[in-house]
C-alpha cells in the first residue's frame, strides 16, 4: 500500500468541512494529530473535532495520540470515529495492554517512534500492530523539516517487518514534501502524512493531486 494521508494539523479548520469532499476523492486516509500540551508542548484538538468530521466523510481516520497516558482516552476516540489509533510507547504504562485495549475497541493500532527514539523500541510488537509511525522530526509541531537520519530508521523498520513477516505498514509524519516523498517510499514507507504540503495556499485537492503525481501513488 502506498498513499498520502492529509494531516489536518496544517489545515484551516474553519474551511475543512468544505474541503473534505474533494479530499475524499483524492485520498483514502485522513490524519488527525491529537496533542495534550503535556507529552508535547503544543495543544491541538480532541473528541469534538472528530465527532464533527466523522458524519461528513467515509475517509479512514488515522488518529495519532501525542498525549500522556493515552489509555485513558482510547474508548472516547474509538467512539468518536477513529479507525486507527496510534500512540507513543513511552507514554503508556503497559504497551502490550494498551495495544490490546485499542484492538478490543475494534480499531487498528499503531506505535509511533519519535525523532529521538530508536526504532528497536517497537520491534517486540511488530506481530501485533498494524502500523509503525516514524516521526520525521520531534513530535509536537507541524511544518518542520524532515531529519534525514530518520531515513535509516525507516529502512531498519522495513527490514525487521520483512524479517518477521509482519503485516505492519510504515507511515512517515513531519516534513514530507514533494522533494523527499519518493525517497521515503523507496526506503520502505507506505503512508506519507502530509500537512503543509497539502494545505498550503488553501488548495488542498490540487496540491494533493500534484503530490500523488510526484510520488507516483
Active site residues: 33, 173
- Residue 196 is labelled as binding a ligand: yes
Burial level of 155, CB count in 10 A (0-12/13-18/19+)? middle
Q: How far is CA 146 from CA 55, 69, 100, 201, 205, in A?
A: 33, 27, 31, 21, 23
- Residue 141 is labelled as binding a ligand: yes
- Residue 94 is labelled as binding a ligand: no
- Residue 173 is labelled as binding a ligand: yes
Closest CA to 77 of 43, 97, 101: 101
- Residue 136 is labelled as binding a ligand: no
Contact 65, 87 (CB under 8 A): yes
- Residue 171 is labelled as binding a ligand: no
Q: How far is CA 65 from CA 5, 58, 149, 172, 210, in A?
A: 16, 21, 23, 15, 29
- Residue 37 is labelled as binding a ligand: no
- Residue 38 is labelled as binding a ligand: no
Q: Which residues of 172-207 are buried (b: 16+ CB within 10 A; e: fewer)?
A: bbbbbbeebbeebbebbbbbbbbbbbbbeeeebbeb
Task: Give the separation between CA 47 and CA 178, rounded to whole angstroms.
Answer: 31
Q: Enumerate the known binding-site residues.
A: 7, 31, 33, 64, 140-143, 173, 175, 195-196
Q: Enumerate the known binding-site residues for a divalent metal cation.
A: 31, 33, 64, 173
Q: Enumerate the known binding-site residues for substrate.
A: 7, 64, 140-143, 175, 195-196
Amino acid at each position: 500500500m502506498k498513499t498520502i494521508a492529509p494531516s489536518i494539523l496544517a489545515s484551516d479548520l474553519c474551511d475543512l468541512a468544505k474541503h473534505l469532499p474533494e479530499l475524499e476523492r483524492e485520498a483514502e486516509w485522513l490524519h488527525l494529530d491529537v496533542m495534550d500540551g503535556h507529552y508535547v508542548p503544543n495543544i491541538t484538538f480532541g473528541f469534538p473535532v472528530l465527532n464533527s468530521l466523522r458524519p461528513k466523510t467515509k475517509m479512514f481516520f488515522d488518529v495519532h495520540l501525542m498525549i500522556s497516558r493515552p489509555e485513558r482516552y482510547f474508548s472516547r476516540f474509538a467512539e468518536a470515529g477513529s479507525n486507527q489509533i496510534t500512540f507513543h510507547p513511552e507514554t503508556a504504562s503497559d504497551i502490550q495492554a494498551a495495544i490490546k485495549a485499542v484492538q478490543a475497541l475494534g480499531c487498528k493500532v499503531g506505535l509511533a517512534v519519535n525523532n529521538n527514539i530508536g526504532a528497536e523500541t517497537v520491534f517486540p510488537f511488530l506481530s501485533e500492530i498494524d502500523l509503525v509511525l516514524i516521526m520525521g522530526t520531534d513530535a509536537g509541531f507541524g511544518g518542520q523539516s524532515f531529519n534525514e537520519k530518520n531515513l535509516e530508521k525507516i529502512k531498519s523498520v522495513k527490514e525487521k517487518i520483512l524479517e518477521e513477516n509482519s503485516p505492519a505498514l510504515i507511515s512517515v509524519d513531519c516534513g514530507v514534501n514533494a522533494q523527499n516523498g519518493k525517497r521515503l517510499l523507496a526506503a520502505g514507507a507506505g503512508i506519507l502524512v502530509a500537512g503543509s504540503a497539502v494545505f498550503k495556499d488553501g488548495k488542498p485537492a490540487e496540491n494533493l493531486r500534484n503530490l500523488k503525481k510526484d510520488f507516483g501513488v
